[in-house]
């Protein structure tokens, strides 16, 4: 039994636990899965397995990580995808609508944990998705504040849902796993893990939370006149729809033009030519940086690291305005 914020979680003892982590490449779902498996199998001596499935690239495409273990140490013979998880963890809130298939197999015995600034009962799910407990954690904010990986925060937030593994064991194994990092990074990740545990909010799922009707959404309707060529994947993140919601890790750089002195370092490291310039003879270098075209930004943060005057700051995507995200402002620069 576990208490948090007046809500009480009671998870009956389970003989077998199956966890599915849904993330975008680069958010650390694979490492989080590894740590959970190490806790279950090496620390607790349960039987179990862990593996991950990656998209077409390891960064920026959907990743699934699976962990299953048996507390009664029965042989685990299945190495297939986990279809009916006891715990579903979503590392990127945008995936709720852009990849609704992540909820497949969620039933009344499934707990769902989502990286979101919203409270658990503010989160909406696709029609027909009725989990048991819903947890939410503002993982991006904590990870940014602690300067640690999002996966450490999410691991901490999973603790209440996994009484079989226990807080101490997860912290212990996490601490050993982070040894490969510098001591400062190790401490940052341990701190992020603790903050995740302290910050997770949990509520019973309400019946009306399954309000997203994907059928009614404003999506491109495909017919014989506009059917895509064979092999085109028509879902968000695809250039055909120009939706990049699911292609970043939750952060993007924000430019402070007052600080920028147009040195161009950011443009040299950007792999996707996101920086938009215009000729300006009055500028020290003859050109002026006018902004970023977020349509192409994958949030790799290389530009932030090289900017000598911190004119670019790491910003949560939901703090970037619609106007900044759209490319309409570019029209005015021509
Ligand atoms: S975060 Fe990466 S992709 Fe985005 S503008 Fe900076 S360097 Fe380019
Ligand atoms: S590196 Fe920084 S100062 Fe230089 S152009 Fe880019 S944002 Fe401006």
Whether residue 269 contacts residue 306, with contact meaning beta carbons closer than 8 Å, is answered with yes
Question: Of 254, 284, 287, 311, which is best to mutate to test ligand 2, by the most ligand atoms within 8 angstroms of its C-beta?
Answer: 311
* Cα–Cα dist 114/140, whole Å: 11
Pocket test for ligand 2, best of 254, 255, 263 (most atoms within 8 A of CB): 263
- The answer to whether residue 129 sits within a structural domain is yes
**Is there a single domain that holds both residue 255 and residue 196?**
no
Cβ proximity of 15 and 72 under 8 Å = yes
**For residue 322, what pLDDT is reported?**
73
Residue 155 lies in a domain: yes
**CA 84 – CA 239 distance, rounded (Å):** 32
Quick one: pLDDT at residue 284?
83
Query: Domain tally for the chain?
Result: 2
Q: Which atom of ligand 2 lies nearest, measured to the CA of 310?
A: 2
Query: CB under 6 Å to ligand 1: residues?
Result: 253, 269-272, 274, 292, 297-303
pLDDT digits (tens, 9 = 90+) for 227-271: 777 776 666 555 555 666 555 667 889 999 999 999 999 999 998
Q: Please give the backbone phi and psi of residue 163, each rounded to the nearest 5 degrees, phi first.
A: -60, -25
pLDDT < 50 regions, the chain: 1, 3, 6
In a domain, residue 237? The reply is: no
**From atom 6 of ligand 2, which residue's Cα is the shortest distance away?**
266
- With the most atoms of ligand 2 within 8 angstroms of its CB, the residue from 256, 312, 313, 314 to mutate is 312
DSSP, collapsed to helix, strand or coil, labels residue 135 as strand
Q: Which of the listed residues 214, 233, 262 is the one where a domain comes to its end?
A: 214
CATH of the domain at 206: 3.40.920.10
**Closest residue (by CA) to atom 8 of ligand 2?**
260
* Best residue among 290, 303, 310 to mutate for probing ligand 1, ranked by most atoms within 8 Å of CB: 303
* Residue 14 included in any domain: yes
Q: Please indicate, yes or no, if residue 180 is contained in any of the structural domains.
A: yes
**Spatial contact of 8 and 1, defined as CB atoms under 8 Å apart:** yes
pLDDT at 6: 42
Q: What residue numbers bound the domain in which 315 lies?
A: 251-331
- The answer to whether position 219 is within a domain reads no
- Residues paired with residue 289 on neighbouring β-strands, in sequence order: 277
- DSSP-derived secondary structure for 303-322: HHHH-TT--EEEEEGGGS-H
pLDDT (tens digit per residue) in 206-224 = 999 998 887 655 556 677 8
Q: Which residues of 81-92 are buried (b: 16+ CB within 10 A; e: fewer)?
A: ebeebbbbbbbb
Q: Are residues 208 and 255 in the same domain?
A: no
How far is the centre of ligand 2, averaged over its atoms, from the C-alpha of 330 (Å)? Answer: 18
DSSP string, 53-113: E--SSSSSSEEEEEEEEETT-------SPPSS-SEEEES-TTHHHH-GGGGTT--TT-EEE
Question: Which of 165, 186, 214 marks a domain boundary?
Answer: 214
Q: Which residue, 1, 18, 57, 45, is CA-closest to 237?
A: 57
* Residues 267 and 209 both lie in one domain: no
Contacts from 325-330 at CB under 8 Å and sequence distance 24+?
325/294, 327/293, 327/294, 327/295, 329/291, 330/276, 330/291, 330/293
Q: Is the CB of 188 under 6 A from ligand 2?
A: no
The answer to the question of residue 195 being in a domain is yes
Which residue is closest in CA terms to ligand 2's atom 4?
Answer: 263
Helix, strand, coil percentages, rounded to 5, for the chain = 30, 20, 45
CA pair distance 145, 36, nearest whole angstrom:
24
Is 223 inside any structural domain?
no
- Which of 195, 214, 233 lies at the terminal end of a domain, its last residue? 214
Of all protein residues, the one whose alpha carbon is nearest to atom 4 of ligand 1 is 297
Give the CATH number for residue 304.
3.30.70.20
If one counts every other C-beta atom within 10 angstroms of the C-beta of residue 94, the result is 22
Residue length, the chain?
Answer: 334
Which atom of ligand 2 is closest in space to residue 259's alpha carbon? 3
Ligand closest to Cα of 253 equals 1
190 and 76 in a common domain = yes
Q: Which residues pair with 315 in a beta bridge?
A: 252
Residue-level pLDDT at 52: 94
């Amino acid at each position: 039994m576990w208490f948090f914020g007046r809500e009480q979680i009671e998870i009956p003892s389970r003989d077998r636990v199956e966890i599915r982590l849904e993330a975008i490449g680069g958010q650390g779902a694979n490492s989080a899965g590894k740590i959970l498996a190490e806790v279950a199998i090496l620390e607790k001596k349960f039987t179990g397995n862990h593996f991950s499935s990656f998209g077409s690239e390891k960064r920026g495409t959907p990743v699934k990580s699976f962990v299953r273990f048996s507390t009664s140490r029965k042989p685990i013979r299945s190495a297939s995808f986990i279809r009916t998880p006891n715990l579903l963890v979503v590392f990127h809130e945008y995936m709720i609508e852009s990849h609704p298939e992540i909820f497949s197999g969620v039933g009344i015995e499934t707990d769902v944990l989502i990286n979101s600034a919203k409270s658990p009962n503010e989160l909406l799910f696709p029609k027909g998705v009725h989990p048991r407990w819903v947890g939410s954690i503002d993982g991006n904010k904590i990870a940014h504040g602690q300067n640690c990986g999002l996966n450490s925060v999410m691991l901490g937030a999973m603790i209440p849902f996994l009484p079989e593994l226990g807080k101490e064991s997860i912290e212990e194994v996490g601490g050993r796993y982070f040894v490969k990092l510098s001591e400062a990074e190790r401490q940052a990740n341990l701190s992020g893990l603790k903050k995740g545990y302290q910050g997770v909010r949990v509520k019973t799922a309400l019946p009306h939370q399954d309000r997203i009707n994907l059928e009614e959404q404003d999506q491109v309707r495909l017919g014989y006149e506009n059917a895509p060529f064979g092999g085109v994947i028509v879902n968000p993140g695809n250039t055909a729809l120009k939706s990049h919601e699911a292609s970043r890790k939750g952060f993007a750089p924000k430019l402070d033009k007052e600080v920028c002195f147009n040195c161009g370092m950011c443009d040299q490291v950007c792999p996707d030519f996101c920086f938009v310039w215009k000729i300006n003879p009055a500028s020290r270098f003859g050109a002026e940086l006018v902004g970023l075209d977020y349509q192409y930004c994958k949030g790799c943060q290389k530009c932030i690291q090289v900017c000598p005057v911190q004119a670019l700051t790491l910003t949560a995507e939901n703090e970037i305005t619609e106007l900044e995200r759209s490319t309409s402002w570019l029209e005015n620069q021509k």
